A and B are shown apart, each in its own frame.
Chain A
């Protein structure tokens, strides 16, 4: 028995030390959930249809151009409603061979159905690939943006294989700004301006009321010399961009000639080459700097520009900085919709942690007091086991990087209840056996062995429930399930093993005098 005890003490000592090492200092080792720390939790959906639409539009434009060059401009060219393809009616005199060759060359990912109208539809695997790519690019872009924002321990994850992304930013105190920053598509294009007018009708009147095939209308603000917005302007710009956001090397906040905040950018060598060639050839013409389909400014080219430029507009210091940030981080491949948002202000989180912990401590203190009064000496056993239980639970949570949420605190408190229950079961059993006239030694042995079956049965049923909660639960339910399952496993160790060892200590000491009584 003596030898037996030694390894028990060693095991308890090692486990306690490891638990303490893992959880100390608790402020650093225990990760608090957003509900306790304050912060923002977002679930957003990447509208992957946008990426499909862009792909279909560009293929459509390639086909139109190629056919027009061959002298067979197609009629009624339209995108399909579900964005997975396009259809057109070929010109009556179209050479079928030329048409087939153009489609094969310019729209290789499309399945073509010929008839009175030609329907080109993206292959299914291409659609899947495009959608997947859009989500992955969005994830990467959002990660870049958040990294630049400087949040500690952000979580940015895709939800399974879906088109949803979860973003968790602890400690952020200005959720509106963060949400704007994440959502900004930030698609920058610089395009040649064909014409400008104050209304769309006036603009199109110059072209016979119809938008020319190779151009598009983009709105913008009209400003006076001091940069105040005075009205709206409509720009007719070429569809083909001179450069886009992809050609950017970097962007930063700067000032325009009036000292107002602006964003200046530099181009990659390749982008600079394109930009230099265009600006050199078109001095004196106007070009539009378009951000997310809105003209930000439309400067006149004064001389050749090779590798840098400036975006002016109605910026504040912060909005200029945010734009520079999203430009650096890259454009989103598709727009974003927020599906779920949870923001907890730091004061509410702080308040609830203080109250939850305090009331939990009061409850546990009452429990310990009761155990001492009701079970006397054995109550000390139970209380030591209880404290060790709490220590190990915190250690395990730190080791598994589990986050402590408010329901998690409740989970801990319930675990304490289960740990107490195990000891109550054992102690009551020992009392029963003592009442039957068994010796102390026998009563303790029987008490533990008989109660063990019950404890295992009851804890296992709860553990089964907790495991399913973990598997299917979300958010707070999951946090609760983690603390509960860890707590149940640990409480079996502390309430059965540790408590037993403490009993053995008492019994061993009394052996000399003969173990006649037990303080229980």
Chain B
């Protein structure tokens, strides 16, 4: 089986058309970023405190908002996380300019709103294993007696078992959920059913980034991006001629801008993993470009005197099956990640998805035409100089 054997597409003939289309896309991305909705910075870069909450049932978002706004910690954002039937939400406050950790305040405000007044009793959806063990040891439902220390040891395993079940279920919806727990005595289960409360929500994750660290993370990410771009540019300029280096770098900027534009249009959040994904796409796109440039260099040695556009067409056609297969296979993995990888990795996969498509395209229709343009410019200058 072979795809694209002995193709002979005239890629360079339409280069002006494709460059025009690329320029339009880049322009649209810039417009979207600057005058449109703009890039949405996640908690890593904008700072703030973000909780990932799982509710027992679909909560009234107005109440969530009201509870958080009562803290006066700046702008409140609430967005759904993952599938609707999981009832999971990301809630965030901005706490502008303030260092410190507000996750506890947020949880308490939500508990006041949803559970009425201060949290009393044993909230099985928010208790930790040590606290649960101590509560059991204090109440001693099995009546084992002895010192507090020995009772704590006695109930340790059962407390862990209850929390293991919560880990598997995500949240206890009601006391009936306890029926599934393994290794807990009837007396303890009866105690938990009687005394335990099953709060409306549980905290799956909490992230707080203060302004100091936020600034730090921004700087470091910018440094990482800047230096890796510079490193690649130097390597390509060293291995190929300058016009090719320019072509590769223009293609890179094209890829990054279009992908950022896609992030801006879809209003996905930019966090540290997103930056890692952006850099991967940069690496991927350069990789693709280098393969084609390598072939151009090889053909230039073999066929001296042939016009450059023809040589480029030949090189691109010869590497076309490789380009399509590699991009296709990588895309296959990334699509699997995008569709089934879950929300944690979704934006990461999205960036790669867009990036691989754009990066493959740009190696053919941006990098090579730009390299061609600058080579021709250099030859014309030289010719004029000779005259």
Please list the residues of chain A having a beta carbon within 8 angstroms of any beta carbon in chain B: 35, 43, 45, 173-177, 179, 316-318, 337-348, 350-352, 355-356, 358-360, 362-364, 366-367, 370, 373-374, 406-407, 409-411, 413-414, 416-418, 420-421, 424-425, 428, 431-432, 435, 450, 453-454, 457-462, 464-469, 471-477, 480-481, 484
Q: Which residue of A lies closest to B148 (CB)?
A: A317
Q: Of A350, A360, A364, A462, which one neighbours B283 at CB under 8 angstroms?
A: A462
Given contacts A356-B344, A363-B332, A461-B290, contact A342 B279 (CB under 8 A): no
Q: Which residue of B lies closest to A405 (CB)?
A: B273
Q: Which residue of A lies closest to B330 (CB)?
A: A417
- In the bound complex, residues from chain B placing their C-beta under 8 Å from that of A454 are 290-291, 294-295
A277 to B262, CA, bound (A): 76
Contact between B276 and A347, CB atoms less than 8 A apart: no
B71 on interface, CB distance cutoff 8 Å: no
Contact between B336 and A420, CB atoms less than 8 A apart: no
Q: Of B170, B224, B318, B348, which one neighbours A410 at CB under 8 angstroms?
A: B348
Contact between A174 and B130, CB atoms less than 8 A apart: yes
Contact between B228 and A468, CB atoms less than 8 A apart: yes
- In the bound complex, residues from chain B placing their C-beta under 8 Å from that of A173 are 128-129, 163
Contact between A476 and B272, CB atoms less than 8 A apart: yes
Task: Name the segment of B200-208, B306-314, B372-380 touching the other chain.
Answer: B200-208
A374 to B217, CA, bound (A): 44
Given contacts A407-B273, A432-B318, A477-B272, contact A355 B340 (CB under 8 A): yes
Q: Which residue of A lies closest to B214 (CB)?
A: A340
Given contacts A174-B128, A461-B236, A477-B272, contact A339 B99 (CB under 8 A): yes
7 A–B pairs (Cβ distance < 8 Å), ordered by A: A177-B130, A342-B208, A362-B336, A374-B1, A417-B330, A425-B322, A459-B287
- Contact flags B181-206 to A (C-beta < 8 A → 1, else 0): 00000000000000000000011111
Interface residues on B, range: 35 or more
Please list the residues of chain B having a beta carbon within 8 angstroms of any beta carbon in chain A: 1-2, 5-6, 49, 52, 99-101, 103-104, 107, 127-131, 134, 137-138, 148, 163, 166-168, 170, 202-210, 212-213, 216-217, 220-221, 223-224, 227-228, 231-232, 235-236, 239, 272-273, 275-277, 279-280, 282-284, 286-288, 290-291, 294-295, 298, 318-319, 321-322, 325-326, 329-330, 332-337, 339-342, 344-345, 348-349, 352
Q: What's the minimum C-beta distance from A406 to chain B, rounded to whole angstroms?
A: 6
Contact between A461 and B286, CB atoms less than 8 A apart: yes
Q: Which residue of A lies closest to B283 (CB)?
A: A462
Contact between B231 and A360, CB atoms less than 8 A apart: no
Contact between B134 and A363, CB atoms less than 8 A apart: no
Q: What's the minimum C-beta distance from B160 to chain A, rounded to whole angstroms?
A: 10
A-B interface, 9 closest residue pairs, ranked by CB to CB distance from nearest:
A174-B128, A363-B333, A363-B336, A468-B228, A472-B224, A355-B342, A359-B340, A417-B330, A465-B228
A73 to B384, CA, bound (A): 91
Main secondary structure of the interface of B (DSSP, over half): helix
- In the bound complex, residues from chain B placing their C-beta under 8 Å from that of A472 are 220-221, 223-224, 227
- In the bound complex, residues from chain B placing their C-beta under 8 Å from that of A174 are 127-131
A421 to B204, CA, bound (A): 38
- In the bound complex, residues from chain A placing their C-beta under 8 Å from that of B1 are 373-374
Contact between B210 and A339, CB atoms less than 8 A apart: yes
Q: Of A367, A421, A465, A484, which is in contact with the most chain B CB atoms at under 10 Å from its CB? A: A465
Contact between B232 and A340, CB atoms less than 8 A apart: no
Contact between B337 and A413, CB atoms less than 8 A apart: yes
Q: Of A43, A346, A416, A473, which one neighbours B333 at CB under 8 angstroms?
A: A416
Contact between A176 and B104, CB atoms less than 8 A apart: yes
Contact between A431 and B290, CB atoms less than 8 A apart: no
- In the bound complex, residues from chain A placing their C-beta under 8 Å from that of B322 are 421, 424-425, 428
Q: What's the minimum C-beta distance from A499 to chain B, rounded to whole angstroms?
A: 15
A390 to B158, CA, bound (A): 39
- In the bound complex, residues from chain A placing their C-beta under 8 Å from that of B340 are 355, 358-359, 362
- In the bound complex, residues from chain B placing their C-beta under 8 Å from that of A358 are 340
